[in-house]
């Protein structure tokens, strides 16, 4: 039986029109702000980058778990507001894994009026940001596990990925707008991305589980139609996807390193309307795998990068990862402007995020949150 001890998280990326891989700046920066938030699960920055909202859970000994939202002025380090949430269906920290409950995440609408929260199987909570009061709960059919969800950048709509379906809901009414059937993914099931104007939605499907060879496909949907706009194959195991300028769609791979030699992967991008490959971002010392994020402004990209090789040790396949790091790229200049090393605090299940306008990267730590300022690239 093959045993892969780790699955790499990797990605690095430059602008699509610049084929050069830029060297990582030496040294690692200190965070601009540090918030001490015991019990932090996830956090999200408001669209105008004024506040951070944190989802906190505690498991008091002998008592039921509690969940709450905390609103922080991260620049001053001040806790502004606390609001209790319904306790999710879990009895211990171990059961808080996404594999049991589905994704735990927060998302603002682009106008900042609503906050969308997922922390339990099959439930999406919609809150009014002014007072954090829950105005409705969306019940996903059959109480299905939510693999991921993303809020439209142009409307009060949320796309939810469950099993073999992508469902679209109206956040103002809670009603289902439509759903699309997709092929079952045997690997990464979190690939879901909106185009900047909200006029297209894409999902990635892998043909095989992580670290195997093989490919997958990309589905593209028009939110106004029940028909699938486009389906095209990709030659790599797809993981995260992200829309860049126009219809360009970047596709990260979930393929592990090759045998006995360090292997880095390029990052291809495709025309989502035609499925035609437009180009690639060539890998350098480190390559691209699994995680990429491009915020609404499309000017910066957050990526995980590393080097990998697989060896045959102890009669088992062993994946060795080196140079693991998180990088922020300025897409207009094709330069890396911020790099932090991957640690236990910023591993895959705690991957950092970018603010809506790309001015901040924030990374969860054991007892709180680190907020880094993203520098502007030198021209």
73-92: average pLDDT: 85
Q: State the pLDDT confidence band at 347, using cuts at 50, 70 and 90.
A: low
Q: How far is CA 107 from CA 35, 55, 348, 369, in A?
A: 20, 11, 19, 17
Q: Looking at the domain assignment, is residue 8 inside a domain?
A: no
Q: What is the CATH number of the domain that holds 294?
A: 2.130.10.10
Contact assessment for residue 329 and residue 12, using Cβ atoms and an 8 Å cutoff: yes
Find the range with the poorest average confidence among 4-8, 38-42, 174-178.
4-8
Q: Looking at the domain assignment, is residue 230 inside a domain?
A: yes
What torsion, rounded to 10 degrees, do the Cα atoms 192, 195, 201, 206 define?
-40
Q: Looking at the domain assignment, is residue 200 inside a domain?
A: yes
Q: Looking at the domain assignment, is residue 25 inside a domain?
A: no
Instruction: Give residue 212's pLDDT.
Output: 80
3-state secondary structure string, 279-312? EEECCCCCEEEEEEECCCCCCEEEEEEEEEEEEE
Q: Looking at the domain assignment, is residue 12 inside a domain?
A: no
Q: State the pLDDT confidence band at 92, using cuts at 50, 70 and 90.
A: low
Q: Looking at the domain assignment, is residue 26 inside a domain?
A: no
Residue 218: beta bridge partners? Answer: 204, 232
pLDDT tens readout for residues 102-159 = 788 999 999 999 999 998 889 999 999 999 999 999 999 887 899 999 999 999 999 9
155-183: average pLDDT: 97
> How many other CB atoms are there within 10 angstroms of residue 361's CB atom?
26
Could you tell me the two tokens for 35? 């918030």
Question: What is the rounded distance in angstroms from the CA atom of residue 312 to the CA atom of residue 8?
Answer: 17
Q: State the pLDDT confidence band at 267, using cuts at 50, 70 and 90.
A: confident
Find the range with the poorest average confidence among 20-34, 43-57, 258-272.
20-34
The pairing of beta strand 335-341 with beta strand 353-354: unpaired
Q: Looking at the domain assignment, is residue 7 inside a domain?
A: no
pLDDT tens readout for residues 198-209 = 999 999 999 998
Find the range with the poorest average confidence among 122-131, 167-176, 346-355.
346-355
- Residue ranges making up the domain that contains 340: 33-373
Give the gyration radius of the chain's Cα atoms.
Answer: 20
Question: What is the rounded distance in angstroms from the CA atom of residue 353 to the CA atom of residue 364?
Answer: 9
Q: Give the global pTM.
A: 0.87
- Sheet containing 228-234, strands listed edge to edge, beginning at the edge strand earlier in sequence: 192-194, 201-206, 216-221, 228-234
Q: Quick check: 196 pLDDT over 70? A: yes
Q: Quick check: 19 pLDDT over 50? A: no
Instruction: Give residue 25's pLDDT.
Output: 42
Average pLDDT score, the chain: 86
Q: Quick one: what percent of the chain has pLDDT higher than 90?
A: 59
Query: Alpha helix (H) ranges present in the chain?
Result: 98-101
Instruction: Give residue 63's pLDDT.
Output: 78
Q: Looking at the domain assignment, is residue 244 inside a domain?
A: yes
Q: Quick check: 262 pLDDT over 80? A: yes
Instruction: Give residue 218's pLDDT.
Output: 98
Instruction: Give residue 317's pLDDT.
Output: 83
Q: Quick check: 358 pLDDT over 60? A: yes
- Number of domains the chain contains: 1
pLDDT tens readout for residues 283-340 = 889 998 899 999 987 788 899 999 999 988 877 888 899 999 998 988 888 888 999 9
């Amino acid at each position: 039986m093959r045993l892969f001890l780790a699955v790499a998280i990797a990605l690095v990326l430059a602008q699509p029109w610049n084929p050069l891989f830029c060297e990582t700046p030496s040294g690692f920066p200190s965070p601009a702000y540090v918030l001490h938030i015991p019990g932090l699960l996830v956090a999200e920055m408001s669209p105008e980058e004024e506040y951070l909202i944190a989802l906190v859970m505690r498991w008091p000994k002998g008592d039921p778990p509690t969940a709450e939202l905390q609103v922080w002025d991260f620049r001053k380090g001040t806790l502004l507001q606390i609001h209790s949430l319904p306790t999710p269906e879990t009895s211990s920290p171990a059961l808080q894994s996404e594999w049991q409950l589905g994704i735990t995440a927060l998302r603002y609408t682009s106008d900042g009026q609503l906050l969308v929260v997922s922390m339990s199987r099959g439930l999406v909570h919609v809150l009014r940001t002014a007072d954090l009061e829950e105005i409705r709960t969306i019940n996903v059919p059959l109480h299905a596990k939510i693999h991921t969800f993303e809020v439209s950048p142009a409307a009060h709509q949320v796309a939810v990925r469950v099993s073999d379906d992508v469902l679209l809901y109206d956040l103002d009414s809670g009603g289902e707008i439509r759903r699309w059937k997709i092929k079952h993914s045997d690997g990464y099931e979190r690939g879901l991305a909106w185009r900047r104007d909200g006029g297209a939605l894409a999902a990635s499907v892998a043909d095989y589980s992580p670290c195997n060879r093989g490919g997958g496909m990309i589905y593209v949907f028009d939110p106004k139609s029940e028909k699938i706009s486009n389906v095209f194959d990709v030659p790599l195991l797809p993981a995260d996807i992200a829309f860049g300028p126009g219809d360009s769609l970047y596709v990260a791979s979930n393929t592990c390193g090759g045998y006995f030699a360090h292997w880095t992967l390029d990052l291809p991008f495709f025309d989502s309307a035609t499925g035609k490959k437009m180009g690639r971002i060539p890998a350098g010392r480190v390559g691209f795998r699994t995680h990429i994020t491009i915020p609404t402004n499309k000017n910066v990209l957050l990526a995980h990068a590393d080097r990998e090789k697989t060896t045959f040790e102890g009669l088992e396949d062993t994946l060795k990862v080196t140079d693991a790091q998180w990088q922020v790229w300025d897409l207009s200049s094709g330069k890396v402007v911020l790099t932090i090393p991957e640690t236990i605090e910023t591993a895959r299940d705690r991957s950092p995020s970018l603010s809506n306008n790309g001015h901040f990267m924030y990374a969860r730590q054991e007892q709180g949150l680190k907020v880094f300022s993203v520098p502007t690239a030198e021209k």
